[in-house]
Structure 1
Amino acid sequence: MSGSVYKNLDMFSRLRGDKAAERVQLVTTMWGKVKDENLAESRVLQLENFWKPILDAGARHERFYDDFDSASEIGKALYTQFRRVLHEQKETIKRLQEEAIAQKDPELMKQLEAELRRLEAELQKTEDDMNKPKIPFGRLARFFSKKPPSVSPPLGRSSSTQNSCSSTA
């Protein structure tokens, strides 16, 4: 592993603290193209050894198998984690609100209520975004399927022109 990667992980840990590691997923790719399972597992062991401090602090290693199901599982895990973090934030704000009521601090109450509304709006926006993908499902399915997408000829060239040009090259 290069020194710059190590420095980046170390800086991340120092900036965000060990608690942030629980929110990290280290995703390795190309698992759908593995030909030598032993070599791949050996590489994973090297990576996990290198990532040991952040894994021990709560980060998770996930494998992306170059398909829709794998992407969906990783996305669901991230979404679940996001919802958990927002829930924790909302619970903290509710506890602070109770304390503000006990202290009879109306200004603090207003600020906390505004923050709670902001968090709820953020959660709703995320749920809306999750339910409305930016990329049409058919395009996603083709991207994650094993079949290569059909290639259309460049603009201004028909497929017969393209075939004759490529056969002469």
Structure 2
Amino acid sequence: MGMGPASNESKNVVIAVMGVTGSGKSTFIQTASGQDVEVGHTLHACTQKLSVYEFEHEGYNVTLIDTPGFNDTFRTDADILKEIAQWLEFTYTKGFRLSGIIYLHRIADVRMEGSALRNLKMFRKLCGDEPLKNVLLATTFWEKVDSEIGSKRENELVSVPEFWGDMVEYGSQVVRFTGTARSALEIITQFFGRATVTLKIQEELVNEGKKLVDTAAGSSLNEELLALQKKHSDELKQVEKDMREAIADKDEQLKKILEKEQRRLDRQLQRFQDEQDQLRADRRNQMRALDQEWESRIRQMQEDAERQRILEKRVNEEQMALQRAEIEGLKQAQRRNRS
């Protein structure tokens, strides 16, 4: 079941699944698709670390994109934003359009944690205002919380503008994923028949030609990095001052503690600088590499299709030859019987 650009096939539904790490993205996708592994098609040419799942439901070709959250233990926010932005930019230039986004949140969480708020803020910047009407805000892990408590938390999410309230005002809808295939598919079918959407970051990167750092999402992240950079720089200055005093006082124990803290702050400052460099990096080489990979995969698919066509033709010819031989055999038998 191959998939082409949305402008050509209205029965194609492409949905990005977002949320913090551990919000249930993979579980939702696997429950909906019934798959444990990725299924190959042309969109794989530009997913890199994003996972793609494709299946059919009620006559629609459904593609679910599993995206990383902005709270990964081993990856920076800049790295994750760059990856998501690159995928959104590249697929947009190839004519693929999102039907919408499912944003997942653990209803079992007692409060909206800092990482979840940061992820939500970045998500909001990625989308812009108009696309929010194609966003479903889905709560997960209902089996881990009392239904009454869960309902109160859900109401809080909707009533607080900084949480989901603002997005609901722009047309986002709140749904519940209860862990069953039926629940997952009911959520997905809400995108059937909807017009596709262009996210703000796609407009900024492709139509306006902005650098990632100049987009709403990139600018927001860069401001956070600058604030953290200043905070750590101030802390480093204090550590250096304390170090001079420790050396003057010949306090070796304090000196070792301060040296360790100095190294930690130096590493953090370098990481912040690296993230800022990622946001400012020229994307042309990466886009060219994606283009080459895309073309290579398309050629491979075409070659596979041609091989399949030749194989089917050969099988058909062999079957026809067998049928002709059987018919000839019957005719010969009939002639012998008559004689």
How does the TM-score come out when normalised to structure 1?
0.48
- Which structure shows the higher helix fraction? 1
- Which structure shows the higher strand fraction? 2
Q: Which has the larger radius of gyration?
A: 2
